[in-house]
Structure 1
Amino acid sequence: MLFVVPNDKQSEMSQVMSEVYKALKEKGYNPLSQLVGYVMSGDPTYITNHKNARSLITRLERDEIIEELFSFYISEHLEKDCGKASE
């Protein structure tokens, strides 16, 4: 059975990640470093409280964030490359 993430969950993830990214930038942090730190450790203190970003990010499961990142990377890079190789 194939598991598909509902569109409303993807929409929520997109909204949360956008808000968290903006809050980190506004506070002068490197969003990539802070998000990686959070996802790898599970420690929410990697994410600022500014604009309620910490509360927002903890609404998402870390494994779902990782799944979405891999899904995006594969669709944007690997599937396109595989299509070119077979042509």
Structure 2
Amino acid sequence: MAKISNTQYFKVSSDTELQVKEILDTVYNAMREKGYNPVNQIVGYIMSGDPTYITSHNNARSLIMKVERDELVEELLKEYIRNKAWQ
């Protein structure tokens, strides 16, 4: 058993990163095409795990369910940090 004082590392492979980006892009565009607010709907899905927040248009619902919600959060946070002017 690992010591509780040690930090565990969590790493996602870069192939997964590309896939998550593509899925988020497809889902975002499908939500906009159907007239939904993509940010609100994706947040609702991430928070609840309920896939009905995502439209089935362009297979968006099936695609987003292929990715773990923590991977979605990780990708969104990484993009935010990359695009944020911290200086």
- Regarding TM over 0.5, the answer is yes
Aligned residues: 80
1:6 to partner: Cα distance: 1.4
1:44 to partner: Cα distance: 0.2
Say which structure, 1 or 2, has more relative contact order (CA 8 Å, 6+ apart): 2
Q: 2 CA distance for matches of 1:5 and 1:53?
A: 22
Flag structure 2 segments of 5+ consecutive residues without an equivalent. 1-7
Flag structure 1 segments of 5+ consecutive residues without an equivalent. none
Match of residue 39 from structure 2: 32
Q: 2 CA distance for matches of 1:14 and 1:70?
A: 12
TM-score, length-scaled by structure 2: 0.81
* Alignment counterpart, residue 61 of structure 2, candidates 54, 59, 68: 54
**Richer in helix (by share):** 1
Match of residue 17 from structure 2: 10
TM-score, length-scaled by structure 1: 0.81
* Ranges of 4+ aligned residues in structure 1 off by more than 6 Å: none
Match of residue 73 from structure 1: 80
Q: 2 CA distance for matches of 1:28 and 1:45?
A: 15
- Structural RMSD (CA): 1.6
Match of residue 5 from structure 2: none
